[in-house]
Amino acid sequence: SIEDVITGWDGSLVATRYDRETGAFFVVAIHSRERGPAAGGTRVKQYDSYADAVTDATRLAGAMTLKMAAADLPMGGGKAVIALPAPRRELADDHWRRILELHAENLKTLGGSYWTGPDLGTSSADMDVVCGFGAPAFGRSEAAGGSGSSAPATALGVHVAIVASAAEVGIDDLAGCRIAVQGLGAVGMEVVELARKDGAHLIVTDIDPVLCERAAALGAEVVPPDAILGVESDVFSPCAVGGVIDVDVARTIRTRAVVGSANNVLTDTAAGDELARRGIVLAPDFVASGGGAIHLIGREVLGWTAEEVATHVEGIADTLREVFVRSRVGGISHDHAARDLADERLGRAGSRV
């Protein structure tokens, strides 16, 4: 229930606003500012209830704190959600623009304690608009002075995480490796391309048939969305929505490693424990998907070049190997080991033990 979400959250602030004129419901969740200002994208979609929107924002904000700490970036964790009254594609341009204006107004009220950026349902062009209304936003288009899309860096990070996780299960070369990709958005499609270049066999799905056709043209085998969790693979790569692995899926999925860009892939720690029990490698999402944050914060806060960003994104493989070692040494799941590592980087060593 929403009461459980509110009382169970360990973050610092949740701000909400419903706007009658646009029918939009806004949530900003600031989880932690221990390492710096809170940052994380604005997710835009329809929700079944406003309670679901608040739940999503708080959980995603918590994941951003872990992501920033795991990547050693000087930022805290936050996330914004805009629950739409209709699908985004059905909104007229001026309606959408007004929603972004209200969002910017909300962010300005928070006085710079939360910086937004692109997430599912928002683009660099949207960040240009939000910033144009005076709110702090990463990931504006390069033409507007931002660092552009973070999707290529996110995909590169997932790719190096796939290589490191495959090595952990004894696969030293992606040639012939079976990789099942769920979701063919900007990140998933690029993950497919990078793995194809390494000679992997791709089994893919998306709810959009156009994207499936595009992946097929790259040499991928397409299956229906409801079939992907049943596919036998070496690596399962969730690059769509979160919450796809619960205990039941963890018990039955036929794969050797789970490595993707979706945030909050596991429904709970029990799912992570079950993967560990079965000897399935998990590249924790807040580590594997860190490339986007490394790109945005690296370029726009730390002044890194594209090459420096790439080097740091490749460092995701080192972080993962450290997670694997900690898991072996401590006899704990990969999820648990990664949370411990992030906690240590937050200066909260041992808080989870």
Q: How far is CA 339 from CA 66, 123, 198, 228, in A?
A: 7, 29, 30, 28
Residues 27, 11: Cα–Cα separation, whole Å: 14
Question: Is the CB of 24 or the CB of 71 nearer to ligand PPY?
Answer: 71
Identity (one letter) of the amino acid at 234?
A: D
Non-local (6+) Cβ contacts of 294 within 8 A are 71, 73, 153, 157, 309, 312, 313, 316
Q: Which residue is nearest to ligand PPY (CB)?
A: 117
The SS3 of residue 179 is strand
**Minimal distance, residue 227 CB to ligand PPY, in Å:** 27
- Does residue number 292 form part of the binding site for ligand PPY (CB under 6 A)? yes
Tokens of 264: 């909050």
Minimum gap (Å) between residue 193 Cβ and ligand PPY: 20
Which of 27, 32, 40, 310: binder of ligand PPY (CB under 6 A)? 40
Q: Which is nearer to ligand PPY, 99 or 288 (CB)?
A: 288
Nearer to ligand PPY among residue 66 and residue 200 (C-beta): 66
Among the residues of the chain, which ranges form H helices? 2-8, 50-70, 93-109, 124-132, 151-168, 186-197, 209-217, 247-252, 269-277, 285-288, 291-300, 306-314, 316-330, 334-345
Structure token pair of residue 155: 């995909």
**Cβ nearer to ligand PPY, comparing 40 with 183:** 40
Exposure string over 192-218, b if 16+ CB within 10 A, otherwise e: bbbbbebebbbbbbbeeeebbebbeee
Q: 55 with 2: CB under 8 angstroms?
A: yes
Only one of the segments 17-25, 37-45, 214-222, 309-317 lies at the binding site for ligand PPY (rule: CB under 6 A); that segment is 37-45
Say how far apart CA 114 and CA 116 lie, in whole Å: 6
The residue among 131, 127, 130 whose CA lies nearest residue 149 is 127
Tokens of 243: 């919450």
Pick the stretch among 160-168, 202-210, 245-253, 288-296 that binds ligand PPY (CB under 6 A).
288-296
- Compute the least distance from the CB of residue 288 to ligand PPY, in Å: 11
116-155 footprint of ligand PPY as x/- string (CB under 6 A): -x-x------------------x-----------------
Nearest approach, Cβ of residue 241 and ligand PPY (Å): 13
Tell me how many residues contact ligand PPY (CB under 6 A).
12
Of residues 180 through 199, those in contact with ligand PPY by CB under 6 A are: none
Pairing of strands 114-115, 221-222: unpaired
**Of 45, 79, 108, 197, which residue is the catalytic one?**
79
Near ligand PPY by CB under 6 A: residue from 24, 29, 41, 266: 41
C-beta of residue 82 within 8 angstroms of C-beta of residue 44? yes
Binds ligand PPY (CB under 6 A): choice among 91, 181, 293, 323: 293
* Catalytic site includes residue 79: yes
39 near ligand PPY, judged by CB under 6 A = yes
Q: Which of 32, 55, 182, 263 binds ligand PPY (CB under 6 A)?
A: 263
**Residues annotated as part of the active site:** 79
Can you give the binding site for ligand PPY, defined by CB under 6 A? Answer: 39-41, 67, 117, 119, 138, 263, 292-293, 296-297
